Amino acid sequence: MEKTLILLKPDCVQKNLVGTVIARFEEAGFAIRANKMIQLTDDLLREHYAHIAEFPFYPDVESFMKETPVVALVLEADGIIDTMREMLGVTDCLEAAEGTIRAEFGSKEEGKNKMCNIAHASDGVDAAAVEIARFFSEDEIFNY
């Protein structure tokens, strides 16, 4: 069984899509192991987005990710990382395949289509472990 971190981004929260998106995850058979709403801080964002923090567009990402709290989840299922990434679609909502969450709900506005894309998902098993530990303590994750 794999676990992944999901962050439902401010656009998901602002559009009142949190329940809709979580329902899709549950319908896909993913088990929710942790769930909380949090306001992201500058330090946490710089750590999470360290791979892009030096790019000129990073301040826009940081500002967007602090517009509202985000909903952080740990989900579990066999092969969840690949399945989740297929379910969400590619990062750019304009290029996401029909039927994916990002194609259906993400921004179609040029310039926002890569950032306002409903959710962040871990891109690998190792990344998931690091990201889950960044957002959740061990006692916040439930295995039942």
Per-residue pLDDT tens for 113-143? 888 999 999 999 999 999 999 999 999 999 9
Number of domains in the chain: 1
Per-residue pLDDT tens for 91-114? 999 999 999 999 999 998 877 888
State yes or no: is 51 an active-site residue: no
- Do the domain assignments include residue 142? no
- Do the domain assignments include residue 69? yes
Q: Which residue out of 25, 120, 121, 135 is catalytically annotated? A: 120
Three state DSSP letters for 64-90:
HHCCCCEEEEEEEECCHHHHHHHHHCC
Residue 29, Cα to own-chain centre: how many angstroms? 18
We report the CATH number of the domain holding residue 88 as: 3.30.70.141
- Alpha carbon distance 70, 107 (integer Å): 17
pTM (predicted TM-score):
0.95
- Alpha carbon distance 85, 89 (integer Å): 6
Domain of 115 in residue numbering reads as 2-136
- Do the domain assignments include residue 141? no
